[in-house]
Chain A
Amino acid sequence: MEEYPGYPEEMWDSLRMVEETRDERIGKTYPRMSEEERERILREWHPDYKEGAKRPLRIGPSKGMMVPHEVADILEAHPLITPDMIDLSEIDYDVDILIIGAGGAGLSAALIASEHIDKEGILLVQKLRLGDSNSKMSQGGIQAALGPDDSPVLHFLDIMGGGHFANNPELVEILVKEAPDVIKWHQSLGVLYDRNPDGSIKLSPGGGTCRRRMLSCKDYTGLEITRVLLDEFLNREIPYLEFTCAVELLTDESGQVVGSVLYDLDSDEYLIARAKSTILATGGYGRLHIQGFETTNHYGATGDGIVLAYHVGAELRDLDATQYHPTGAAWPEQIVGQLCTEKLRGRGAQPVNRLGELFVNPLEPRDVEAAAIIRECYGRELGVTTPTGMRGVWLDTPLIDIINGEGTIEREFAAMYRTFKRFDIDIRKEPILVFPTLHYQNGGVVINARCETTVPGLYAAGEVSGGVHGKNRLMGNSQLELYVFGRRAGRFAAERAKRVNVGKPTLKHVERYERWLREAGIETDRRAPILLPEYRGKKTLEHHIRLL
């Protein structure tokens, strides 16, 4: 019988060393870094600090902001449509609120909006299937300061420190204060949070948190929350369109946003949706594969929202900071880049190098943890190399059962256990190989406490927005953000819809954007939003023609 059937033989020596050193590592923790050490390792090893990976934006209200080339490429690109392609005289949907995106933020906005205005005045559009989103993929948890020794004040401090104090404190305050109420809302809708044997809510630690503050639903947290919201959304019969994407916003004579040009992915036809309030809940840009990184993200995460917002002149922020999740799968090849939840470390799994040695505290903030893993692989050369040349370090998962008792992994990490078992790796008995993976758009569209962007009529909530997390998000705060700000967006967008009138929809901002491109001397054939990532084979693309 093979010793490690899921791993190639060249890794077996290293796997044995991890096994042999496991007993002496139990109970030991690598010390946390000082703030100085953290800053140094980020400067030297975090991909955000890599020279030549970014450039300043040459156009628009956030001109001069440094962003990754991949982000600049979609912002310094021609809009997908030109005004002459579209007949704006026939409006297909004339509504109060248009919600773009059906992940956690979009669904929350729809549910709350339906409590303030007639649901027939709402239209939710979704690029792929209803509910398809990164929200659904979140594994580890959602933060809320519920413990007796915890408070929203400590939650606030953790977020500000984790975000390198670049956060918008107003938004952070709202996030931490409304967190308990979001959990109450979820429970009243029927979300099943993990409980302790005595019935209290189970709270775990997370990277950069000073208390146990992470609520979870096994390691299917996002799945459980979003499926309940979706079920409720369907029960309330709120109007929606699937496989329909927003390709360009609409503005009226006064410059306010009044809806969107939609594009039906099945029929290739465009539709005009006019709205008094428009909510962007489109998620992030993981599928841009910044710096060539693999990603944990959903297929639809192509950064459409920041492009749509920038076209109408909305300000952006903190897009220089990209989150690389410290532990993406580095093996097996089929699932490279997929998320291995931070909760694994929260429950005792240690990152160790090729020799089975500890080299970093398991619960540093995400950017620091990721930088330490990259240094171990490429600075100290103590990583493990896979047959495809990828490097990684071990995450010693068997410790979870050793520390917390047998059965813990199967009970709390059903998704992780199942994923690796499909490839003959038993995470109860063998460690997994990990490397940082592109995970989250830390910045985004500027919003205020009412989720208003800097352009009237346009709201944003969730990953597409910026300011809550500063330069680095902590685990469990993105799930939280979706519901706190999704609900707010629904409420304030509904309030606005009751009091404003909208004019004739135009695409004047598209003409302006083309002018900005021209004036900045940007000559390109790039067009955006890109809507779907390109993964087709080389041969297909080389011979691709459109005849029908």
Chain B
Amino acid sequence: MEKEGKMVTIYVMGKKHRVPAGLTIMKAMEYAGYQLRRGVGCRGGFCGACATLYRVKGSYKLQAALACQKVVEDGMYIVQIPFTPAEKKLYDIEKIRPTPNVFVEHFPEITRCLSCNTCTKACPQDLMVMDYVQAALRGDIEKVVELSFDCIACGLCAIRCPAEIVPYQVAQLARRLYSKYILGLSEEVEKRVAEVEEGKFDEELEQLKRLPPEELRKRYESREIRV
């Protein structure tokens, strides 16, 4: 860790700021005086609102990160990419099916994949993005699901893709189809829903609701714990 008091220089959209070392890009921008309206969300690495591109002085490499998770480096040039102008493909989940061709039909641009791996390098979650795009091309839905599950849809893969593929949308379709049609509804869920509908628990719940507070407390304290 950096010692307290040490400062580094960053460039936010080219403008120079001195900020304490050790801050995340997001906190460094706030320290520098930005009140964030776009490019900020959960601040915990779960929402993908703070997608950011940066380059460090002396390097030609354009790198991608989440501003809430990445610590500033001396000489960092930063621009946030809070929005990806990707087309949202519309579909009716009740009507489509997980056929081998479903991805190519909805996202024909995936056939343009150059296997350049730029998407994978851009992913701040370190997902194997190109591998799941290739799996989608093969119609291997299970693989798409497995490799894409941790995606937060920050959009960086789509922004960097030279073939203009929007990988996270392909993955979203795959996960929904897989859950709905390949795994299907769970038996125990349907059974419990039916029991509730039949009123199986109504009488007991009604009783509990009517119990005087002391009695309810006793029932709570004496319940058996089986975990």
A interface residues, Cβ below 8 angstroms from B: 8, 32, 35, 128-129, 131-132, 134, 136-137, 144-149, 151-154, 156-158, 160-161, 165, 169-170, 173, 176-178, 180-181, 183-184, 187-193, 195, 199-201, 205, 209-212, 217-218, 220, 222-224, 227-228, 231-232, 234-235, 237, 243, 265-266, 296, 298-299, 332-335, 338-339, 363, 387-388, 414-415, 418-419, 422, 532, 534-537, 539-540
Contact = CB atoms under 8 A, between A and B. Distances in A.
Nearest to A131: B47
A536 B172 contact: no
B69 interface: yes
B216 A212 contact: no
B149 A184 contact: no
B76 to A, nearest CB: 15
Contacts of B213: 165
A199 B185 CA distance: 10
Nearest to A421: B126
B97 to A, nearest CB: 12
A157 to B, nearest CB: 5
A341 to B, nearest CB: 11
A177 to B, nearest CB: 5
Interface in B1-37: 1, 4, 22-24, 27, 30-37
Nearest to A388: B4
B150 A210 contact: no
Interface of B: 1, 4, 22-24, 27, 30-38, 40-47, 49, 69-71, 82, 88, 90-93, 125-126, 145, 149-150, 152-153, 172, 175-180, 183-190, 192-193, 196, 201, 204-205, 208-209, 213, 216-217, 219-221, 223-227
Contacts of B184: 187
A340 to B, nearest CB: 11
B6 to A, nearest CB: 13
Contact of A129 (B49, B177, B178, B190): B49
A110 to B, nearest CB: 16
Contact of B221 (A35, A169, A232): A35
Nearest to B22: A333
Contact of A235 (B93, B208, B216): B93
5 contacts: A149-B226, A189-B180, A534-B35, A537-B30, A540-B32
A250 B125 CA distance: 43
B151 to A, nearest CB: 9
A105 to B, nearest CB: 16
Contacts of B178: 190, 192
A56 to B, nearest CB: 24
A199 B1 CA distance: 45
A440 B70 CA distance: 26
A234 B90 contact: yes
A262 B206 CA distance: 43
B223 A157 contact: yes
Contact of B1 (A8, A165, A173, A189): A8
A128 B183 contact: no
A180 B201 contact: no
A160 B220 contact: yes
A257 B88 CA distance: 34
A210 B227 contact: yes
Contact of B196 (A181, A191, A200, A237): A181
B185 A532 contact: no
Contacts of A170: 209
A209 B41 CA distance: 31
Nearest to A295: B43
Contact of A387 (B1, B38, B226): B1
